[in-house]
Chain A
Amino acid sequence: MKTTLAALKKGQKAIITDFNTDAIPLKLLEMGCLPGNEVQLLQIAPMGDPIYINVSDSHVAIRLETAAEIDVILVTE
């Protein structure tokens, strides 16, 4: 199922397919947030934003507005 990283539920895993390069900080790419890599949503902050993800073994927090620019395909287990 195609969706964006911002729409994942807690604990869900997905594969990154594409993103809007101009809207993503380079630092996030360098942490391993690249097409083809697996991403898991670990925690959502109490007010729904930011989110805390594990992307190819990097644990990072990003804002929803950034996550919405990242396209993913859900991994069904």
Chain B
Amino acid sequence: MAGSTIKIALIGNPNVGKTSVFNQLTGLNQQVGNYPGITVERKAGTCKLPNNIKGAVLDLPGTYSLNASSMDENVVIELLMNKNDKDFPDVAVVVTEVENLKRNLLLFTQIKDLEIPTILVINMSDRMEKKGITLDVPYLEEHLKTRIALVSSRKGTGMDHLKDLIVNYTHLNTEPCLNASSIDPEYFGSLRKTFPQQLLYKLWLVITQDANFGIIDMKELQGTSFTKTKSELKRLQQKETVKRYQFINDTLKIGQTIDTTAAKDLRAKLDRVLTHQVWGYAIFFCVLMLIFQSIFSWSSIPMDWIDETFAGLATWVQDSMPPGKLTDLVAQGIIPGIGGVVIFIPQIAFLFLFISLLEESGYMSRVVFLMDHIMKRFGLNGKSVVPLISGTACAIPAIMAARNIENWRERLITILVTPFTTCSARLPVYTILISLIIPERYVLGIFNLQGLTLMLLYMLGFAMAILSAWILNKVLDRKFKTFFVAEMPNYKVPMFKNVAINVLEKTKAFVVGAGKIILALSILIWFLGSHGPGDDFNNAEEIVTAQPESQSLPENELADKVASYQLENSYIGIMGHAIEPVIKPLGYDWKIGIAIVSSFAAREVFVGTLATIYNIGSSGEDENTIRSRMEAEINPVTKEKTFNFATGASLLLFYALAMQCISTLAIVKKETNSWKWPVVQLVFMSGIAYLASLIAFQLLQ
């Protein structure tokens, strides 16, 4: 056996500390990826076992049973049903928690029915004494037909025993603990006769889940007497659940004793405050303020530093490499492209830090409980709160956070409206436009008018998200009844290791996932902006130099003018001109058109593009320079300022409402598994943006 690898799958209910057990087993030897074709997180890692044996550990998504109600849960069943899957475990480790043993054992009895070697881990054993719980482990091992490891993932105890059990997995009893088919002997008897090759419980799962899992052809079942109506099936599933609980209760009656006088409940006290009519909302509001504060204020320090570093790096490459296309690609395409991704790391990391703290502590479930009633009216779910808050950093991780909404309809609406919330990429655009059109004045002595405008834009984002949810709720058909079942886990002090690993992995997933698209588009836009058809582009330098008014210009201003002329005649400049008739009613000229087209990679590109168009490239992206240049810009037709109040307001609305983010569209496509929804989103959001900007400009003009 030495030198060989054992495949281990960790399975368990949510909130039992399964991920802590995984972290204890693997340490930092883990990789987070996606299951092929879907975006359910796949966490895998390796661990060292006794006798030089290696363990390949797979942390499966948390599930309450083998009857899947979400995409994450489906992954568990699909894997356990398919013996040919490369991840199919040699041994299943079912993680349970000492305080919720009864409910946790339901899943355990189902896994046992699949006749896979199974070890039972009872976590948080360090709390047993405090809770007055004693377990008769030998009795439980005998009746559950398994081996038990009592562990505390928090204190790291019991791991060696678990590893010993894993190494000796071949000695595990693979018989089911109970005969679930006795709920309808006639039905299951004839099912067994018809498909003697298959495991009865697997067949039952195929029938109830309405999916074939590759073990038998669904067609073989259809038309036979084995298919039943949904209602009949559910009645049988209910009987099955009752049967399993009977067995579990009988087993625990002897195997577990609870001295209820020992249990002092912190939960009840905290719940009274955190879900209180007034305090509940007040505390939630304070937590939100803290999150916003960290995203906007604390993260600006590392963000400025990243910004400067990448700008410096680009300049250095431009100056020190031999001039040519390759240098331009690196200095103007790749480096700013990577910089555009890296700049978001501080905000994303802060956001995930807070979200994982809130989730680990159990507080997030109370927020879900507090908010469900309000959200329900708009076709959303209490669980939609998490994506909507996360959306203020970036829509991509926010949309991924919608996964734990079981109801497809509510999840879809959440995904569709989340991009309306003001993500951090809109911030640089807002900042520069507000400084142009809103005077720096104080109202009532303390409120900065510019700051108020920014706040108004954030509120507009939330309001639009809620309003569109309300519209979608009316429009989308209600095929299924919506359900809301949210577990309220016990409060826990978050574990540093879990939070740190979570922040690290989520941030990495964002950088790699969204980063690829942003980088690719940055390079594409660089190409379109630095290449053009015809002589106007290629001979820009001679044409500009030959102009009489260029003669007296100093060298760097002349170079800026050439760059600007080139941009006007590049592919992207031609695109800007082409869309001018469409955007003219909104108050934009072709230059703004270029900025809008290039914003499709990421909104914040707007500022950089304008810097190039207004030929101030050589002075860098200094905000004040761009600002004064934009302020001085005169519309050649109307002879008025281009960035007057009307145009500025119209642009602000456009950036607030339009769908201008390819990465978001890509993630929506992935999460909804169809092109329909990203297209709907693009048309709907951009349509609203166009209308709102049109109305604003025409009224204010």
Contacts and interface: CB of A to CB of B under 8 A. Distances in A.
A29 B235 CA distance: 11
B650 to A, nearest CB: 38
A47 B588 CA distance: 46
Interface in A5-36: 21-23, 25-32, 34-35
Interface in A41-77: 42-43, 45-50, 52, 56-63, 66
Interface size class of A (residues with CB under 8 A): 20 to 34
Contacts of A63: 372, 376, 483-484
Contacts of B231: 21-22
B488 interface: yes
B271 A43 contact: yes
A27 B373 contact: no
A76 B271 CA distance: 24
Contact of B488 (A26, A29, A35, A60): A60
Interface centre among A35, A43, A49 (most CB of B within 10 A): A43
B213 interface: no
Contact of A21 (B100, B238, B369, B490): B238
Contacts of B276: 46
B485 A31 contact: yes
Contact of A50 (B234, B277, B281, B369): B369
A35 B488 CA distance: 21
Contacts of A60: 485-488
Nearest to A33: B485
A26 B69 CA distance: 9
Nearest to B70: A27
A60 B99 CA distance: 15
Interface centre among A32, A45, A49, A52 (most CB of B within 10 A): A45
Contacts, number: 119
Contacts of B489: 59
B86 interface: no
B301 interface: no
Contact of A34 (B242, B277, B376, B488): B242
A56 B103 CA distance: 9
Given A32-B102, A50-B373, A61 B488 contact: yes
A49 B486 CA distance: 13
Given A22-B234, A25-B485, A30 B102 contact: no
Contacts of B372: 45, 49-50, 61, 63
B373 A47 contact: yes
A26 B280 CA distance: 30
A53 to B, nearest CB: 9
Interface in B388-425: 406
A56 B374 CA distance: 28
Nearest to B249: A56
A31 to B, nearest CB: 6
B486 A61 contact: yes
A67 B24 CA distance: 40
Interface string B274-292: 0111001100000000000
Contacts of A42: 268, 271
A23 B482 CA distance: 10
A54 B132 CA distance: 19
Contacts of B245: 32, 34
A75 to B, nearest CB: 16
A29 B241 CA distance: 7
Contacts of B125: none
Contact of A30 (B67, B99, B370, B484): B67
Interface in B482-530: 483-490
A32 B369 CA distance: 20
Contacts of A21: 231, 234-235, 238
B367 to A, nearest CB: 11
A62 B482 CA distance: 11
A68 B64 CA distance: 23
A61 B235 contact: no
A62 B281 CA distance: 19
A30 B242 contact: no
A46 B64 contact: no
Contacts of A58: 100, 103, 487
A46 B65 contact: no
Given A22-B231, A25-B69, A62-B485, A45 B242 contact: no
B532 to A, nearest CB: 59
B45 interface: no
Contact of B103 (A23, A31, A52): A31
A59 B13 CA distance: 13
A25 B68 CA distance: 11
17 contacts: A21-B238, A22-B234, A25-B483, A28-B483, A31-B103, A34-B245, A43-B271, A43-B275, A45-B369, A49-B373, A50-B484, A52-B271, A57-B103, A61-B365, A61-B368, A63-B484, A66-B484
Interface of A: 21-23, 25-32, 34-35, 42-43, 45-50, 52, 56-63, 66
Given A59-B487, A61-B485, 20 more contacts: A23-B481, A25-B483, A26-B69, A27-B64, A27-B406, A34-B241, A35-B242, A45-B369, A46-B275, A46-B277, A48-B373, A49-B372, A50-B372, A50-B382, A52-B271, A56-B103, A58-B103, A59-B490, A61-B484, A62-B485
Q: List the 10 closest pairs (A to B, CB-CB), nearest first.
A: A25-B483, A59-B488, A46-B277, A47-B373, A61-B486, A61-B369, A49-B373, A30-B65, A63-B484, A43-B275
